[in-house]
């Protein structure tokens, strides 16, 4: 028996490594023999498929067309009247920000001139964190004006300005509620896991059915996607408040409400503001994706350009999205680290609020300038800069110059590697994979994780989506393998070289601000529409957490442990293989876990350039408003992620216990 601590099962049920591998081999052999003789083991029988998607479709049809309240009275209404009414209410703040940034307030007042927004961005960055952040924020917005994407950028920015407070408010309310009750925590934890694991495209369909299309429904879809990390940050922050701080507050006679608002929330401020940063970045990413359900702005423009294969135009719009993401990321991160400022209430108002006073002066001066100089209000196209010809020329040059190199590589990868791996994954008998996942879960986490993991893998088969699920497994597995190898090597070299480490972390921070659509552009330029393009897009999107966690794990190895091993006469390779990597392995496994989630997130997006996986099923459902099909396919993707997450986290806990590492 292995001397290890079991998570969910007594020690008597632990299995040795030899028994584990023997059981795995027997499962594979039994599955191969059974599938060759019993058709039901090779392909899940249609008569066993549970028509849950049909029931979901009927439920939504019932909600939309049949359910009515107060029938026969003047107050008769349907559920969709409530949802559409909620959309109408949300349009009011949206219309204000749209008027503020690009529509204007009729003939009364024009929108904010571009010079006003740029100047205020410089000032805001300086107030939050000084000159560096000021330059990043200011030049980011200046770029949007100079490169002729101002109006589309302001459409996106107007949406973000309204959506972020909405998301943050919901996240704070949910986080506080969860922190007050263990029962509520047990309910919301799996709900959040499913919400964060399910591709956004999956719940676009029910949102369109209930709320329609446009900017307001896009806000609702964004909230579903972005609220969980904010709520979790609030919950984590409140739970991490030291007991002595709470006891000190209680000894001062505060009420429960005062304890929350004057003690716990201020103490948890930094953690909560980190959640705000995550909420902002996820809001921006989601609003770009929500162009598929009618959200205006850069996402809509980019989607149109990609569909028309206008690569130069798409690159300019994609860079604009990245510029906004970088500016908002830098501002929110800096604000999260900004210490509270206490004002002297005896001073005059201007001295208490100097930056607000400067902002008022900027508004006045820039509006006067814009009144007399029209170019300061809206920069004419003739004065803007464009790089479309350069990018289009680059694409033509790549096609002309690299075609003879790229095409053979593309064909080799597709014919010799990708298609055989895909066919192999599709040929795996469904009982074999279900039992292997169950065995793996039992090995690392006991019977609870074994049963839950096996049921999650069985779910796609019962729903009739086994083939697209295995296609998804093939794509995610390949991208994960490449990400793990390349990300680990980069992380290893970066952990050993401080300069390279700073560069790698900087690149990770930068590329993590890229909305997912952006990664489709370079692969389309080189490899056109294919599985190879989709897998490479997933690779580009998912490699950053592997690099980050590898660096984190190796840098967290105690210098005392390294020095002790050095004094024992070990070589650098021995220290790496026998000391550093075993200690860093839990963090590295967390990086692999994140790679899997990132790859699953990209599945639906990569399907826009032609795949046959669950993402394609979701996209087909989205175009036909098939709610059941979209949700079931989304659940299949979510369950793949959750099953892998539970097994990896169980293994990580075992490894930490074995090494004596405590959280």
pLDDT per position as a tens digit, 645-659: 889 888 888 877 776
Residues 123-138 have a mean pLDDT of 92
Q: Determine the pLDDT at residue 661.
A: 61
pLDDT at 182: 86
Tokens of 317: 């719009």
| Helix locations, 215-297, DSSP H | 215-239, 243-251, 256-259, 265-267, 269-289
What is the predicted pLDDT for the residue at 7?
Answer: 40
> Would you place residue 636 in the very low, low, confident or very high pLDDT band (cuts 50, 70, 90)?
very high
10 Å CB burial of residue 456 (0-12, 13-18, 19+) is: buried
Give whichever of 77-81, 302-306, 545-549 has the largest mean pLDDT.
545-549
Could you tell me which of 530, 514, 428 has the C-alpha nearest to residue 473?
A: 428
Per-residue pLDDT at 11:
40
Contacts by 128-134 with C-beta closer than 8 Å and gap 24+? 128/331, 128/334, 128/335, 128/338, 129/330, 129/334, 129/335, 129/337, 129/338, 133/330, 133/331, 133/334
Q: What is the C-alpha separation between 635 and 202, in angstroms, rounded?
A: 8
Q: Crossing angle for the helix pair 581-606 and 627-659, nearest 10 degrees?
A: 170
List pLDDT tens digits, range 324-379: 888 888 888 888 778 777 777 777 878 778 888 999 999 999 999 988 888 888 88
Residue 519 is classified by DSSP as G
Q: In terms of Cα–Cα distance, which of 459, 481, 483, 479 is closest to 469?
A: 459
**Share in percent of the chain as helix, strand, coil (round to 5):** 80, 0, 15
CA–CA separation, 600 and 456 (whole Å): 15
Listed in sequence order, the residues at least 6 apart from 450 whose beta carbon sits closer than 8 Å to its beta carbon are: 438, 439, 440, 441, 442
Contacts of 196 (CB under 8 A, 6+ apart): 225, 228, 229, 597
Query: Where are the alpha helices (H) located in 38-149, listed in sequence order?
Result: 39-42, 52-61, 79-98, 114-129, 131-146
Taking each helix axis from N to C end, the angle separating 150-180 and 79-98, rounded to the nearest 10 degrees, works out to: 130
112 near 101, Cβ under 8 Å? yes
What Å distances lie between residue 372 and 120, 362, 375, 380, CA to CA? 20, 16, 9, 15
Residue 471's beta-bridge partner residues?
Answer: none
- DSSP per position, 337-397: HPPP----TTS-HHHHSHHHHHHHHHHHHHHHHHHH-HHHHS--GGGS---HHHHHHHHHH
Domains 154-340 and 404-424+463-659 share a fold: yes
The mean of the pLDDT values for the chain is 85
Lowest-pLDDT choice from 312-316, 465-469, 480-484, 525-529: 525-529
Q: Which of 431, 421, 424 is nearest to 28 (CA)?
A: 431
pTM of the model: 0.83
**DSSP class of residue 11?**
G
Residue 239 has which token pair? Answer: 């739970």
Q: Could you tell me if 532 and 418 are in contact, meaning their C-beta atoms sit under 8 angstroms apart?
A: yes
Predicted confidence (pLDDT) per residue in 178-190, tens digit: 988 888 888 888 8
Which pLDDT belongs to residue 6? 40
Kindly tell me the sign of the dihedral angle through the C-alpha atoms of 548, 550, 554, 556. Answer: positive
Asked whether the beta carbons of 375 and 382 are under 8 A apart, the reply is no
Q: How far apart are the C-alpha atoms of 262 and 248, rounded to whole Å? A: 12
What counts of helices (H) and strands (E) characterise the chain?
32, 0
Using DSSP's 3-state secondary structure scheme, residue 14 falls into coil
Of 194 and 434, the structure prediction assigns the larger pLDDT to 434
Count of beta carbons in the 10 Å neighbourhood of residue 362: 17
Torsion (CA) 431, 437, 440, 441 in degrees, nearest 10: -120
User: Exposed e or buried b for every residue in 365-385, given b needs 16+ CB within 10 A?
Assistant: ebbeebeeeeebbbbeeeeee
Under a CB-based contact definition with an 8 Å cutoff, are residues 257 and 204 in contact?
no
For residue 623, the number of C-alpha atoms closer than 13 Å in the C-beta half-sphere is: 6
- Show the tokens assigned to 64: 């939309």
Give strand pairing partners of 105.
Answer: 109
- CATH for 404-424+463-659 is 1.10.3720.10
| Closest C-alpha among 261, 267, 265, 272 to residue 332 | 272
Q: What whole-number distance in Å separates Cα of residue 343 and Cα of residue 468?
A: 60
pLDDT score of 662 more than 70? no
Which string of DSSP letters, residue by residue, matches 494-513? HHH-HHHHHHHHHHHHHHTT
Over residues 249-260, mean pLDDT: 83
| Mean pLDDT, range 556-563, rounded to an integer | 81
Q: What is the mean pLDDT of residues 264-272?
A: 83
The whole-number average pLDDT for the span 44-70 is 88
- Per-residue tokens: 21: 């591998």
| Count of C-beta atoms within a 10 Å radius of residue 509 | 15
Note the pLDDT of residue 174.
92
| Among candidate residues 418, 227, 407, 390, the one with its CA nearest the CA of residue 312 | 390
Run of H or E residues at 12? none
C-alpha 278: how far from chain center: 9
| Cβ-based neighbours of 234, under 8 Å, separated by 6 or more | 171, 172, 174, 175, 176, 179, 268, 271, 272, 275
Of the chain, the percentage scoring pLDDT greater than 70 comes to: 97
pLDDT tens figures, 387-443:
888 888 887 887 778 777 888 888 888 888 999 999 999 988 999 999 999 999 998
Domain boundaries, the chain: 1-40+428-458, 154-340, 404-424+463-659
- Per-residue pLDDT of 15-43, as tens digits, reads 677 888 888 899 889 888 888 888 888 88
Question: If DSSP codes are grouped into helix, strand and coil, which group holds residue 212?
Answer: coil
pLDDT at 160 over 80: yes
Separation of alpha carbons 315 and 358, rounded Å: 36
- What's residue 4's pLDDT? 39
CATH number of 154-340: 1.10.3720.10
């Amino acid at each position: 028996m292995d001397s290890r601590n079991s998570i969910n099962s007594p020690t008597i049920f632990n299995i040795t490594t030899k028994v584990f591998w023997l059981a795995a081999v027997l499962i594979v052999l039994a599955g191969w023999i059974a599938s060759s003789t019993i058709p039901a083991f090779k392909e899940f029988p249609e008569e066993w498929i549970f028509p849950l998607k049909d029931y979901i479709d009927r439920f939504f049809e019932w909600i939309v067309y049949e359910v009515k309240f107060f029938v026969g009275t003047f107050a008769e209404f349907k559920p969709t009247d409530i949802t559409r009414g909620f959309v109408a209410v949300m349009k009011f703040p949206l219309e204000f920000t749209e008027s503020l940034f690009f529509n204007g307030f009729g003939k009364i007042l024009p929108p904010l001139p571009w010079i006003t927004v740029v100047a205020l961005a410089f000032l805001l960055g300086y107030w939050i964190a000084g000159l560096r952040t000021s330059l990043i924020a200011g030049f980011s917005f200046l770029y949007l004006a100079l490169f002729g994407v101002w109006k589309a950028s302001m459409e996106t920015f107007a949406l973000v300005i309204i959506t972020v407070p909405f998301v943050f408010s919901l996240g704070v309310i949910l986080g506080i509620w969860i922190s007050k009750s263990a029962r509520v925590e047990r309910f919301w934890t799996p709900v959040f896991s499913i919400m964060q694991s399910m591709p956004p495209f999956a719940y676009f369909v029910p949102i369109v059915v209930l709320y329609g299309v446009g900017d307001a429904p896009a806000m609702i879809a964004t909230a579903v996607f972005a609220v969980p990390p904010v709520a979790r940050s609030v919950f984590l922050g409140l739970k991490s408040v030291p007991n002595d701080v709470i006891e000190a507050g209680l000894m001062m006679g505060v009420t429960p409400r005062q304890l929350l608002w004057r003690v716990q929330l201020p103490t948890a401020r930094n953690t909560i503001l980190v959640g705000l940063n995550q909420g902002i970045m996820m809001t921006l990413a989601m609003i770009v994706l929500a162009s598929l359900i009618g959200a205006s702005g850069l996402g809509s423009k980019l989607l149109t350009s990609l569909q028309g294969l206008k690569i130069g135009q798409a690159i300019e719009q994609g860079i604009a999205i990245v510029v906004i993401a970088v500016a908002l990321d830098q501002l929110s991160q800096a604000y999260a680290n900004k210490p509270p400022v206490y004002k002297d209430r005896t001073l005059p108002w201007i001295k208490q609020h100097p930056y607000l006073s400067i902002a008022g002066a900027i508004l006045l001066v820039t509006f006067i300038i814009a009144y007399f100089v029209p170019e300061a209000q809206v920069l004419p196209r003739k004065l803007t800069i464009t790089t479309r010809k350069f990018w289009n020329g680059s694409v033509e040059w790549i096609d002309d110059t690299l075609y003879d190199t790229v095409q053979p590589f593309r064909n080799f990868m597709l014919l010799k590697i990708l298609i055989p791996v895909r066919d192999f994954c599709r040929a795996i008998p469904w009982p074999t994979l279900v039992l292997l996942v169950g065995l793996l879960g039992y090995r690392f986490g006991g019977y609870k994780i074994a049963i839950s993991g096996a049921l999650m893998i069985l779910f796609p088969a019962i729903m009739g989506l086994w083939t697209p699920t295995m296609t998804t497994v093939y794509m995610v597995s390949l991208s994960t393998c490449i990400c793990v190898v390349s990300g680990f090597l980069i992380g290893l070299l970066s952990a050993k070289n401080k300069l390279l480490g700073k560069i790698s972390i900087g690149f990770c921070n930068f590329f993590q601000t890229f909305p997912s659509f952006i990664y489709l552009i370079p692969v389309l330029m080189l490899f056109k529409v294919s599985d190879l393009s989709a897998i490479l897009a997933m690779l580009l999107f998912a490699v950053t957490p592997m690099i980050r966690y590898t660096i984190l794990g190796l840098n967290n190895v105690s210098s005392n442990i390294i020095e002790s091993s050095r004094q024992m006469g070990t070589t650098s390779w021995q220290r790496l293989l026998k000391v550093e990597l075993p200690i860093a392995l839990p963090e590295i496994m967390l990086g692999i876990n994140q790679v899997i989630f990132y790859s699953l997130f990209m599945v639906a997006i990569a399907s826009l350039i032609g795949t046959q996986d669950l993402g394609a099923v979701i996209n087909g459902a989205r175009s036909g408003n098939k709610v059941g099909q979209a949700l079931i396919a989304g659940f299949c993707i979510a369950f793949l992620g959750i099953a892998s997450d539970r097994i990896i986290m169980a293994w990580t806990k075992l490894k930490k216990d074995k090494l004596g590492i405590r959280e």
